[in-house]
Amino acid sequence: MINRFLLGDFKCRPNAVAFTATIKAHSAAINAISSLRNADETYKKEKIQSAARRCEDLLQQLCLLRNGQGNDRSLQPTSVTFDLVLAALEQAEDFDGIKRLQTLRSEENDVEKAPKF
C-alpha cells in the first residue's frame, strides 16, 4: 500500500487506521505466540521480538509519512497506536525500543502543540 501510494497511486493512500489495524494484527500474533505451550522458548522469543520490531517499524513509517505529507491529520497516530506498540515492545523485553517509542511519542505530541499557519 505504501509503495503504491508513493509511486503515485493515490487510491491506495494509507491512513492511521490502516497502520493501527496492521499493528494490532502483529500484537495479536505476539499474544498467540506467547500462549503456545509446547513451543521452544528460543523460537517464541525470536518471533515475539520480530513482531514487536515490525510494530515499531510500522509506527515509525506512519510518523514519517505524516511528516512528509505536511502533517496530514489522517496519518496522525493515536494513543491506541502508541499503546499497542508499547505493549508489543514490553512483551519482547525491548527496553531500547521502549525508550525510542517514548521519544517518538513526545516528538509527536510536540508536533500537535506547534502553531498551525
Of residues 17, 103, 93, the one with CA closest to residue 60: 103
Residue 106 to residue 63: CA distance in whole angstroms: 12
For residue 98, count other CB atoms closer than 10 A to its CB: 17
pLDDT tens string 71-114:
788 999 999 999 999 999 999 999 999 999 999 999 887 765 55
pLDDT tens string 17-74:
999 999 999 999 999 999 999 889 999 999 999 999 999 999 999 999 898 877 788 9
Q: What does the block give as the cell for 109?
A: 505530541
How buried is 35 (Cβ within 10 angstroms: 0-12 exposed, 13-18 middle, 19+ buried)? exposed
- Percentages (nearest 5) of helix, strand, coil residues in the chain: 75, 0, 25
